Chains A and B, each alone.
Chain A
Amino acid sequence: MRARLNQRNVLIHGSAAVLVVLNWGTFIWASINGHVAESGLGYLIAPFIAIGTGAFILGDRMSVLRRCLLFIIALCVLVLILRSAELDHWVYLTIGLTWGSYACLKKLTSLDAFDGLFCETVVLSALLPVLLMLLPSLTMQLPPALPGISLALLALCGFISVMPLWLFAKAASALPLSVMGIFQFVLPTTQLIVALWFYHQPISANTILCFSAIWLALLLIVGEPFLHRFLFCAKGQIVKRFDVVVVGLGIMGAASLWQLAHPGLRVLGIEAGGPTHAKGSSHGGTRIFRRAYWEGEAYLPLLNLAHTGWERLQSSSDKRLLVPAGGVFIGPRASDIVAGSLRTARTGNIAHESWDAAELGRRLPQFSASHDMQAVFEPGAYAIAAEDARLHMLSEAVDRQAQLCFGSSVQALHSSNGGICLDLSSGQQIQADAVIVTAGPWIANALLPELRAYLTPKRVPIYWFAPRKGCEYAFTADNFPVFLYECKDGSLLYGIPSGASQEAGVKIGFHNRQQLPSDPDSAAPAIDATLIRQISSYVSAILPDLSPQPSRGKWCFYTMSGDESFLLGESQRHAGVYYASACSGHGFKFATGIGALLSSMAQKQALQIDITPFHPSRFGR
């Protein structure tokens, strides 16, 4: 958690702490002074505050229906203030504003609910002594004759904060967001019942009317997607039917579409961003392809399938999509990099050379390596011109009559009439016989929440380093291979020669350091100076002929699984929905293979290789 406590998160949770204290304080005051209908009303209007803030401050898109409903709620609150004299208006306004803004803030953080509330209570506990000193009326002194039962109850007050949080997290991990929305009714309704039943709080007809109107408006908001489906899908007014729809056109989706598309099949690819957006994992100029795979022989069949695919892709393009640079994997003799690469190369019969440090010094003097280092050289490894390859796949797919749709996200998937119905953010509905979901770090949000427990999206920086003056040619793909370098402290760096794409400089990053768990919808922060210092110190030690300061840095997303291997299979919830995810920072090279497998799955054809090693059932959940 310490790694995630950057300046941004501290600011978010510092502000959230203020909201928490106002919310808790108001709630306790209202509970003791018999204003429970007001606190319930506060929780009822909170979702609208969250939606309103999201729309006005964060720029979330909002449908016409939502705008109208938001206006109606505002009107109801106005009527309450003017006509419900029995209410303490500040109570619901405070609770609604604090709880709604709190929900909004929580969208921006990369901490989970527990770590978040932990930070907030730490901040508040630290401020408490200050407040106690400043405000003489505030005291931690308990009344003298407090019965034992009250003391015991007081000791349980942490439970009131933690237990619902735990239960809510348990629900959120297994249920889609649309179902989670329904729970928003339970809290305010319980409060209203408690107010009437236990407190006998006097409530005017005007209040009941407004409460009901807001309740109905919330119901319409939660039910909007269902309503939409009822109006369109149920009456068969589907905009279009396809045989296969691919959701998410990063490299995995593009490769699937490329493998699928042929004139006899109605295929559609949907991408929420633009054709070259840089919010996910597939952007940028280059990637590595290697088969002496230190990660294990289990990947060999998929690597071979992918290699055939990449060669086929290259043969269909005039552009240079594969840059034959060779690959070198350097590390201490017993390291995974060296021992693992050798093992896979031998098992897979992959051409390779084993070098000691002296040989490495002769063949690739660009590297600095101590005498106890070893290297495995794979002459057949190459760099892939990543963006060009992906765009070429899409272009070829369109040539073979696939359709593409950019700028529309799929908000929900549901099984209907023996097929799958997709609700798009544009309001369109699409019916498909099979769906391939390759939505990277977004995959578990609304589409496949069943995968949520396996995935952690992480932001990872990539850097570019310019060669020192006079050394430019030493780092081009003719003279310098793609590389992996495991340092003695276990840090693993990868790199790609300059000139393999339009990007200037040698691309270098850590494979196993500098990973920040992040929400893919949160804005990317600037790359921290400490991260830059860290990579600089490693690069200057292993490649002294590069300028130690990176010329550029950029964030990428790694969608990590627990064992850093992939997830490939059919949804348990929707038959006919197939997915690939958890590329865990090394998936790109497999795309042509995974695309071929997904294409076969979606067309119910026999699979080219056994995919059980990549099925989520390996986690035994």
Chain B
Amino acid sequence: MMHMPKVASYAAAATSGVAANLILGASSLYWKRLAAIAPSTLLGYRIVVSLASLSLVMLLWGDSAACVQG
């Protein structure tokens, strides 16, 4: 039997899953905006900035991120 909060949490999870893929799919347009920079340079920045962002996220929400992962 499904209760309302359950349906809402399902919908939230499904929206997250769709959003993750939508963002990735549309991210081509983002890189296109940065076409003035060489792709290899962009790659270099993506690595370094991702590391910085991940460190920040894991530092701030370390526990909650782990919680989401179960």
Chain A residues within CB distance 8 Å of chain B: 21, 24-25, 27-32, 36, 39-40, 112-115, 117-118, 121-122, 124-125, 128, 132, 137-143, 146, 150, 153-155, 157-175, 179-180, 183-184, 186-191, 193-195, 198-199, 444, 452-456, 572-573, 575
Beta-carbon contact of B65 and A139 below 8 Å: no
A-B contact pairs, 7 of them (CB 8 A): A39-B28, A140-B45, A146-B37, A150-B34, A157-B49, A168-B17, A170-B13
Q: Check A573–B43 contact: CB distance below 8 A.
A: no
The one of A25, A40, A158, A184 in contact with B43, judged by C-beta atoms closer than 8 angstroms, is: A25
CA distance A334 to B10 in the complex (A): 47
Alpha-carbon distance A184/B22, docked complex (angstroms): 11
Q: Given A28-B42, A31-B27, A187-B25, do A173 and B68 touch, yes or no (CB 8 Å)?
A: yes
Question: How many Å lie between the Cα of A122 and that of B51 in the bound state?
Answer: 7
When C-beta atoms are compared, the residue in chain B nearest to A137 turns out to be B40
**A162 CA to B54 CA, complexed, in Å:** 7
7 closest cross-chain pairs (CB), A and B? A190-B25, A158-B53, A171-B17, A186-B21, A174-B13, A31-B31, A167-B20
Interface residues of B in 15-63 (CB under 8 A from A): 16-55, 57-58
Chain B residues contacting A199 (CB-CB under 8 Å) are: 28, 32
The contact of A187 among B1, B21, B33, B39, by CB within 8 Å, is: B21
Contact B31–A27 (Cβ < 8 Å): yes
Q: How far is the CA of A174 from the CA of B15 in the complex (A)?
A: 11
Report the nearest A residue to B49, measured CB to CB.
Answer: A158
Q: Give Cα A444 to B51, complex, Å.
A: 30
**B17 near A30 (CB under 8 angstroms)?**
no
Residue pair B25, A189 in contact (C-beta under 8 Å) = yes
Residues of B within 8 A of A179 (CB): 14, 17
Report the Cα distance A21→B53, complex, angstroms.
17
Which among A29, A158, A164 is the interface contact of B54 at CB below 8 angstroms? A158
| A160 & B47 in contact (Cβ 8 Å cutoff) | no
Residue ranges of B at the interface with A (Cβ–Cβ < 8 Å): 1-3, 6, 9-10, 12-14, 16-55, 57-58, 65-70
B29 touches A198 (CB 8 A): yes
Contacts of A146 in B (CB 8 A): 36-37
CA distance A154 to B32 in the complex (A): 12
Which of A170, A184, A193, A453 counts the most chain B CB atoms within 10 A?
Answer: A170
Given contacts A137-B40, A171-B20, contact A161 B46 (CB under 8 A): yes
Residue ID in chain B nearest A175 by CB atoms: B13
CB distance from B44 to the nearest CB of A (A): 5
A209 to B12, CA, bound (A): 34
Q: Is B52 within 8 A of A163, CB to CB?
A: no
Most chain A CB within a 10 A radius of its CB, from B3, B9, B58, B65 = B65
A164 to B17, CA, bound (A): 8
Q: In the bound complex, what is the Cα–Cα distance between A161 and B57 (angstroms)?
A: 12
Q: Which residues of A contact B54 (CB under 8 A)?
A: 114, 117-118, 121, 158, 161-162
Are B41's CB and A142's CB within 8 A?
Answer: yes
A186 closest partner in B (C-beta): B21
Consensus secondary structure, chain A interface: helix
**Residue in B3, B32, B55, B68 whose CB lies within 8 Å of A32:** B32
Contacts of B10 in A (CB 8 A): 174-175
Contact A153 B70 (CB under 8 A): no
Docked pose: A163 CA to B54 CA in angstroms: 10
Output the residue of B21, B36, B55, B65 with the most chain A CB within 10 A. Answer: B21
- Contact present for B26 and A157 (CB under 8 Å): no
Min CB gap B68→A, angstroms: 5
Contact between B28 and A180, CB atoms less than 8 A apart: no
The answer on a CB contact under 8 Å between B24 and A164 is yes
Known: A31-B27, A161-B53. A128 touches B48 (CB 8 A): yes
When chains A and B are docked, how far (Å) is the Cα of A125 from the Cα of B58? 17
CB distance A168 to B44 under 8 Å?
no
* A218 → B minimal CB distance (Å): 13
A572 to B40, CA, bound (A): 50
A179 to B44, CA, bound (A): 35
- B40 → A minimal CB distance (Å): 5
Picked from A36, A113, A169, the residue with its CB within 8 Å of the CB of B28 is A36
From A29, A112, A169, A190, contact of B22 by CB (8 A): A190
B residues near A198, Cβ cutoff 8 Å = 29
Asked whether B25 lies within 8 Å of A186 as measured between CB atoms, the reply is yes
Closest Cβ–Cβ distance, residue B20 to chain A (whole Å): 4
Contact A170 B21 (CB under 8 A): no
* B25, closest chain A residue (CB): A190
Chain B residues with CB under 8 Å of A118's CB are: 51, 54-55, 58
Residues in chain B near residue A191, CB distance under 8 A:
25, 28
Docked pose: A184 CA to B21 CA in angstroms: 8
Query: CB-CB < 8 A to A573: which residues of B?
Result: 2, 6
Q: Beyond the given A25-B39, A170-B68, could you list 8 further A-B residue pairs with CB under 8 A, ordered by the A residue number?
A: A28-B46, A114-B54, A118-B55, A140-B44, A150-B37, A169-B69, A194-B26, A572-B3
Residue numbers in B under 8 Å from A170 (CB-CB): 12-13, 16, 68
Query: How far apart are A193's CB and chain B's nearest CB, in angstroms?
Result: 8
Contact A453 B67 (CB under 8 A): yes
A157 touches B2 (CB 8 A): no
A residues less than 8 Å from B14 (CB atoms): 171, 175, 179
Most buried by B among A36, A167, A184, A194: A167
